[in-house]
Amino acid sequence: MPQAETTPLRIGMVGYAFMGAAHSHAWRSAHRFFDLPLTPELTALAGRNAEAVDVAARKMGWSSTETDWRALIERDDIDLIDICSPGNTHAEIAIAALRAGKHVLCEKPLANTVAEAEEMAAAAQEAARNGVFAMCGYSYRRTPALALAKRMVDDGRLGKIRQVRAQYLQDWLSDETAP
């Protein structure tokens, strides 16, 4: 049975490297897994290099491109700004987007300093008064292993937790020349 039509959520994303690719996949797939009140629409992808952003947009399914993130914020056909750019750009983009009335999903790290984070939080609180949402992408909270661990703790299956020691091992940043 075909899925009922829903109102689109028109996404403008800044950045198209590793996290941009991951977010693009998630936006393309979310409504196929979950009954969502809005259907994500990959409206525009922004990156500094026109040729590279065009290639990325075609590969990941974006409808259009911009070479300046400010253009995304100015567009009337963008509802939400997804920030997947380097961490030192997050605060400026998020604050500008929120002040322009765009919803914001900001990848980690949220900010590079406490002062930046506080300014972002203030902008988000002001925007929330006008029905604009902001959030940081803590995607690992929803992984099956973590969800199971939380359920086991909540159900008391592990007894009283007195201490937790955890490691998150991955090799994708094992290159000593990586920034």
Q: Using alpha carbons only, give the angle 123, 127, 129 rounded to the nearest 5 degrees.
A: 125
What residues make up the domain containing 32?
7-140
The residue to which tokens 């693009």 are assigned: 24
Contact 171, 163 (CB under 8 A): no
**Which residues in 100-111 are b (16+ Cβ under 10 Å) and which e?**
bebbbbbbeebb
As a whole number of angstroms, the distance between CA 79 and CA 4 comes to: 21
Residue 176 in domain: no
Q: Using alpha carbons only, give the angle 117, 78, 28 rounded to the nearest 5 degrees.
A: 90
Residue 174 in domain: no
Helix (H, G, I), strand (E, B) or coil at 36: coil
80-136 confidence digits (pLDDT tens)? 999 999 999 999 999 999 999 999 999 998 999 999 999 999 999 999 999 999 999
pLDDT at 173: 59
As a whole number of angstroms, the distance between CA 124 and CA 103 comes to: 9
36-80 confidence digits (pLDDT tens)? 999 999 999 999 999 999 999 999 999 999 999 999 999 999 999
CA distances from 56 to 18, 26, 107, 164 (A): 11, 15, 18, 41
pTM, to two decimals: 0.81
Residue 24 reports pLDDT greater than 90: yes
The more confident residue out of 139 and 126 is 126
Residue 2 reports pLDDT greater than 60: no
Residue 1's pLDDT band (cuts 50, 70, 90): very low
Residue 67 in domain: yes
Residue 170 in domain: no
As a whole number of angstroms, the distance between CA 47 and CA 56 comes to: 9
Number of independent structural domains in the chain: 1
Q: Give pairs for 128-131: CB < 8 Å, separation 24+.
A: 130/101
CATH number at residue 56: 3.40.50.720
Residue 30 in domain: yes
Residue 178's pLDDT band (cuts 50, 70, 90): low
Residue 159 in domain: no
Contact 162, 134 (CB under 8 A): no
Which among 98, 21, 18, 93 is positioned nearest to 57, based on CA atoms?
Answer: 21
Residue 145 in domain: no
